[in-house]
Chain A
């Protein structure tokens, strides 16, 4: 059971992870430019039920772009099915006159890989496993603190699965580049 879940999670995570490695790797002379922030997050999804989820959060910012590319992977603890979600979002920092607070909005796409658990006496119409594509609308704020940067955010998914998600988490800088804030925003 665990091996099956792990293999499904790896398959779902493989494509965006590989693409991100290519993005960073093919940056060529601009290798030092991207600001990379990696962290963990957790929250709840409000849909037919309230389901907790935990995952990882990767944010890559670029000198040539005002956008931050945000790749996330989440394992949703749903009673009826195994549920893994991968999202790729483009985040845009909103300028506000608050020091150490970086609010942002974003838009992106998600892939949900699901597999309903066998339940005695329950007959389902439609697929009992598969992948579904959807869209994300994101709003959040990151707090630029020393060493780690906490964030809070809300995500509305649009598609076959359309929960409203609330999350909080921490990201850490994987570079010592002072051109970027702890949240990955260009230093002011």
Chain B
């Protein structure tokens, strides 16, 4: 994760003055929906803005304790403690609209895209009759949301982002995993480098 962030920083710093790369490192919380809330997620996104009007973004996130225990406990064997994690990767379109005034420089935006959610289900046996298991599954997911970036300096700002994810689960292959389509809201806060707000400070 740290290596990806450093690479993104180097790419943003090395870009020509009017190239509009943006890299964001963020923490997130799945605040509402069919997954566990209150657990920490870490992510990074890299975007390139075409003329400051529309951006192409690649987003990757890792989230621990992804599903709620009570939603999947009934599908597990006895005496098994289940841990669930998820890795998300998506490609998104971002449409920003930047304004600057006495209140500083702000770029609210809307975003939508698609990607995959890679889910890991690790069962740890706690009884003599139980066995450890490790299942992985990848589900197609779409997302849409809104957010805003705010410039603290010409290069550095912060981002607040809210996105709704909907995952399409292959129910025939669910096994010990989550059995049906699910959706949730992800709220994230991060530090962003570069981005369309830089245009507001161009000579």
CB contacts (< 8 Å) of B9 on chain A: these are: 22, 26
Residues B38 and A65 in contact, CB atoms below 8 Å apart: no
Q: How large is the interface on B (under 10, 10 to 19, 20 to 34, 35 or more residues)?
A: 20 to 34
Whether A132 lies near B191 (C-beta < 8 A) is no
Q: Report the stretch among A1-9, A28-36, A47-55, A172-180 that lies at the interface.
A: A28-36
B34-77, CB < 8 A from A: 38-40, 42, 65
Q: List 7 A-B pairs, Cβ < 8 Å.
A: A26-B13, A28-B153, A64-B152, A64-B201, A66-B102, A131-B39, A133-B40
Q: Which residues of B contact A111 (CB under 8 A)?
A: 27, 40
Of residues 58 through 111 on chain A, the ones whose CB sits less than 8 Å from some CB of chain B are 62, 64-67, 69, 88, 90, 108-109, 111
Q: Is B184 an interface residue (CB 8 A)?
A: no
Q: Contacts A19-B191, A26-B13, A67-B104 hold; do A133 and B38 have CB atoms under 8 A apart?
A: yes
By beta carbon, the residue of chain B nearest A61 is B152
Residue of A nearest to B5 (CB): A22
Q: How far is the CB of A117 from chain B (nearest CB, A)?
A: 21
The one of A22, A65, A132, A133 that contacts B151, using a Cβ cutoff of 8 Å: A65
Which of B13, B152, B154 interacts with A67 by CB under 8 Å? B152
Q: Does B150 contact A (CB under 8 A)?
A: yes
In the complex, residue of chain B having the shortest beta-carbon distance to the beta carbon of A33: B153
Q: Residues of A at under 8 Å CB distance from B?
A: 15, 19, 22-23, 26-30, 33-34, 62, 64-67, 69, 88, 90, 108-109, 111, 130-134, 159-160
Q: Give B residues with C-beta under 8 Å from A.
A: 9, 13, 25, 27, 29, 38-40, 42, 65, 102-105, 150-156, 158, 189, 191, 193, 201
Cβ contacts under 8 Å, B29 to chain A? 109, 133
Give A26 to B156 CA distance when docked, in angstroms.
7
- Given the known interface contacts A64-B104, A88-B189, the answer about A133 and B155 at a Cβ–Cβ threshold of 8 Å is no
Residues of chain B within 8 A of A134, CB atoms compared: 38
Please state if B155 and A26 are interface contacts (CB–CB under 8 Å).
yes
B140 → chain A, closest Cβ, in Å? Answer: 27
Q: Which residues of A contact B150 (CB under 8 A)?
A: 65, 67
Q: Is the CB of B153 within 8 A of A90?
A: no
Top 3 closest pairs, chain A to chain B, by CB: A133-B29, A65-B104, A30-B153
Closest to A161 in B: B38
The minimal Cβ–Cβ distance linking A79 to chain B, given in whole angstroms, is: 23
Are B39 and A62 in contact (CB-based, < 8 A)?
no
Contacting residue for A131 out of B40, B102, B151, B189, CB 8 A: B40
Q: Judge whether A15 and B27 touch: CB under 8 Å.
A: yes
Nearest-neighbor residue (CB-CB) of A126 within chain B: B69
Distance between Cα atoms of A24 and B187 in the complex (Å) = 25
Bound CA span A109–B191, Å:
13
Give chain B residues whose Cβ lies under 8 Å from the Cβ of A90.
Answer: 158
Contacts A133-B38, A133-B39 given; does A28 touch B191 at CB 8 Å: no
B153 near A34 (CB under 8 angstroms)? Answer: yes
